[in-house]
Amino acid sequence: MTLLSKRLQAVYQMVDAGTRVADIGSDHAYLPVELIETGVIPYAIAGEVAEGPMSRSKADVEKFGLSDKIDVRLGNGLAVINKEDNIDTVTIAGMGGILICDILSRATEAQLSNVKTLILQPNIGEPLVRHWLIEHGFEIIDEDILSEDNHDYEIVKAIKNDSVKELTEAQFLMGPVLMSKKSDAFVKKWQRKLNGYKKAVANMHNAKQIDEDKISKMQQYIKYVEEIL
Ligand code: SAM
């Protein structure tokens, strides 16, 4: 039986077999444990900034006899990775997009030098994450979207590519791969968002002080979403 929620299961599915993974902000370390126990990967680091979850995960990893394959390390962001760990894949899940970008921006060149793949699952602020990836030479090669506990979650997988292509505004907003897959979960999310944008524009028109910039931004979003749906 899996320990993983539907959200973490979707992150798990994106990890390539045989890679060496650092899961940053691992909390309970469920993702590395599942990846190791199912034989998908040979080695993982579970990085965690908070002492409590880190000690609990360490105890669990020892209890399950996985200490030789999972290193549970206390530290801020990618500071838990050393060059000799040969980590090629970093996963960061269950945080806001701002925090994910902040963690990635604070990584040194040495910490990122072997990293070829980033698998990111922001709870909010997905466009920010896509901007960070493109600006730092990571090409988005896969995306997934799912709904769990009344929240839409998106997962973005990107690989290092020195000649990465710029995205359109609509692609930053909705996700280049998600737009082409156009799954039921994607259509549902954007239909709901579209209704929200339309209501917001109507309310802004009725406001005492009309914010033309905000209205035109919202109308731009409406146009992008209507074109895709
Ligand atoms: N990744 C797990 C998941 O998706 O279920 C846990 C998500 S939990 C909401 C976020 C975790 O990230 C917390 O345990 C928190 O302590 C940790 N965290 C926050 N900022 C961090 C940082 N800069 N470096 C490492 N861990 C961090």
| Residue 7: both structure tokens together | 């959200």
Classify residue 31 by burial, with Cβ atoms within 10 Å: 0-12, 13-18, 19+.
buried
pLDDT for position 207: 82
Pairing status of strand 117-122 against strand 89-95: parallel
Q: How far away, in angstroms, is 3 Cα from ligand 1 center?
A: 17
pLDDT for position 26: 96
Measured between alpha carbons, how far is 165 from 184 in angstroms, rounded to an integer?
Answer: 27
pLDDT for position 25: 97
Identify the segments of the chain with pLDDT beneath 70. none
DSSP line for 36-103: HHTTS-SEEEEEESSHHHHHHHHHHHHHTT-TTTEEEEE-SGGGG--GGG---EEEEEEE-HHHHHHH
Within 8 A by CB and 6+ apart from 192, the residues are: none
Classify residue 199 by burial, with Cβ atoms within 10 Å: 0-12, 13-18, 19+.
exposed
Token match 């996985």: residue?
66
- Any ligand 1 atom below 6 A from CB of 32: no
- Any ligand 1 atom below 6 A from CB of 94: yes
The answer to whether 10 and 153 are in contact (CB under 8 A) is: yes
pLDDT for position 206: 85
Token match 């390539």: residue?
16
Token match 């469920």: residue?
30
- Any ligand 1 atom below 6 A from CB of 175: no
Measured between alpha carbons, how far is 55 from 57 in angstroms, rounded to an integer?
Answer: 5
Helix axes 6-14, 30-37, angle to 10 degrees: 50
Measured between alpha carbons, how far is 135 from 126 in angstroms, rounded to an integer?
Answer: 14
Token match 């002080």: residue?
209
pLDDT for position 140: 98
| Residue 196: both structure tokens together | 């929200």
| Ligand 1, pocket-test mutation among 15, 48, 73, most atoms within 8 A of CB | 48
Task: For the beta carbon of residue 4, count every other beta carbon within 10 angstroms.
Answer: 17
pLDDT for position 110: 84
Atom of ligand 1 nearest to the CA of 103: 23
Q: How far away, in angstroms, is 24 Cα from ligand 1 center?
A: 7
pLDDT digits (tens, 9 = 90+) for 88-142: 999 999 999 999 999 999 999 888 889 999 999 999 999 999 999 999 999 999 9
pLDDT for position 208: 80
